Amino acid sequence: MTKTVALIPGEEAAPEAFEPTVALLDHLRLGLEWVRPPVGNSAQETHGSTFPKQAREMIDAADTTFFGATSGASAPALFYLRWGKLTYANVRPARYFRGAKSPLAKPDGIDFVIVRENLEDLYTFAEGDLEQLAPANLMSGTWRRPLHELAPGRFAVKVITEAGSERIVRFAFELARQRREDGCPGRVACGTKHNMLPRSDALFRDIALRVAEEYDDIPFESYFIDDLAHRLVATPHAFDVVVMPNLYGDILSDAAAALIGGLGLAASGCYGENYAYFESAHGTAPDIEGQGIINPTAMILSAAMMLGYLELPEAGCALVDAVTAVYAEGKALTRDQGGSASTEAFCAAVAERL
């Protein structure tokens, strides 16, 4: 049966990486059907909304969505893809391609995946003025005073649920098992700040420890998140699957991207029970918009993850192999990698390898 992919290019420089990636997928002749939901500024003009009902219906009807990056106009679609479709697991691989510009002396062999909880933590957008906390008389354990007495100021709510923690940790263990089948070590590490957050982060960690007992074939380590940040940089080769709450995962996955050559290589996929969407981990790179120099590798590797999800793993591997070859050859690398190739030239090199 023909698989349908909803395409949302996003804003600023994002489409400059997105469209050539779609062209590469066309080049593979996979029989995928593209649909383009009306989203963002153009949808505002044609449909009177940046995320009209028609767009939501097209996303729902598609097998998956491929997304560029947004600086705002396409954000309602992105929020729908995440909280509307409950894509709770954000998978962000940090794999080094020989030839990429890593700041490390020996980056060869770095190959770990950050599994970031994608719906909870501080991403509830439940913020407010401290005065609002007066009715609850919420005490600060450190200040030993009701928080509203610290006003004026603001607060944000961090939410860690039992169900949300359990499903993301299980996802991480299942991924570790899958990766072990593919020749990776098959290990899980967890990062939390359970000493300073003995109820919220400690809950996430306790659940991870409990789930780890069920997966006794998969080695498990729990770290303080600050220690884990240090270890990921100092000994990145020691890691395989690394699971953590939302905000830590957001921050550390950018740090992990730096190890392997920067945001231009940072792929990402967001998986739920019934839906998944794929986007690069980087933003819209507004500072290089219109120059045709954005590195499309992150987009291409995200597309490869999407092909795996669409049960076209050979095509996904072909894309990754082509990218590997282009980096190894080093002749068509973009500026962020120390080369001088345009986005178009990089994609042409990948297409040639395909």
Cβ–Cβ under 8 Å, residues 231 and 190: no
Our CB check for ligand ATP shows the closer of 69 and 190 to be 69
Q: Which residues pair with 222 in a beta bridge?
A: 190
Which residues fall within 8 angstroms of residue 136, CB to CB, at 6 or more apart? none
State the nearest-atom distance from the C-beta of 249 to ligand ATP, in Å. 13
- DSSP 3-state of 151: coil
Our CB check for ligand ATP shows the closer of 83 and 224 to be 83
Cβ–Cβ under 8 Å, residues 298 and 68: no
Displacement of CA 322 from its chain's centroid (Å) = 22
Our CB check for ligand ATP shows the closer of 5 and 298 to be 298
State the nearest-atom distance from the C-beta of 13 to ligand ATP, in Å. 7
Our CB check for ligand ATP shows the closer of 212 and 333 to be 333
Distance CA 290, CA 222 (A): 44
State the nearest-atom distance from the C-beta of 55 to ligand ATP, in Å. 20
Q: What are phi and psi of 95, to 5 degrees?
A: -120, 130
State the nearest-atom distance from the C-beta of 49 to ligand ATP, in Å. 22
Our CB check for ligand ATP shows the closer of 68 and 107 to be 68
Nearest CA to 112 out of 240, 20, 22, 14 is that of: 240
Interhelix angle 297-309/343-353, rounded to 10 degrees, is 40
State the nearest-atom distance from the C-beta of 336 to ligand ATP, in Å. 4
Instruction: Give the footprint of ligand ATP on this chain (CB under 6 A).
Output: 17, 263-264, 282-285, 287-288, 294-295, 298, 336
- In this chain, which residue has its C-beta nearest to ligand ATP? 283
